């Protein structure tokens, strides 16, 4: 039972991190640091 809770919390933390990381990258396409977007 404890492992299920730990895995669940970890999954939620990863989901929150992904959402928080992906939203700014879509809003700020000028500075992404990947794909050679340093020109603009």
User: Which tens digit of pLDDT belongs to each residue from 1-40?
Assistant: 899 999 999 999 999 998 887 766 555 555 555 655 555 5
24: CB partners within 8 A, 6+ apart: none
Answer yes or no: is 11 within a domain. yes
What is the pTM for the complete model shown? 0.49
DSSP 37: T
pLDDT, position 20 = 80
Range of the domain at 28: 1-35
Answer yes or no: is 18 within a domain. yes
* CA contacts within 13 A on the Cβ side of 30: 1
Q: Which two tokens stand for residue 7?
A: 């895995």
pLDDT, position 29 = 54
pLDDT, position 38 = 54
Answer yes or no: is 16 within a domain. yes
Instruction: Please give the tally of structural domains in the chain.
Output: 1
Answer yes or no: is 40 within a domain. no
Answer yes or no: is 17 within a domain. yes
DSSP-H helix ranges across the chain: 2-27
> Do the Cβ atoms of 13 and 19 come closer than 8 Å?
no
Dihedrals phi, psi of 25, to nearest 5 degrees: -65, -30
């Amino acid at each position: 039972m404890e492992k299920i809770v730990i895995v669940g919390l970890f999954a939620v933390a990863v989901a929150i991190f992904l959402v928080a990381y992906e939203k700014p990258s879509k809003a700020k396409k000028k500075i992404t640091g990947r794909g050679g977007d340093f020109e603009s």
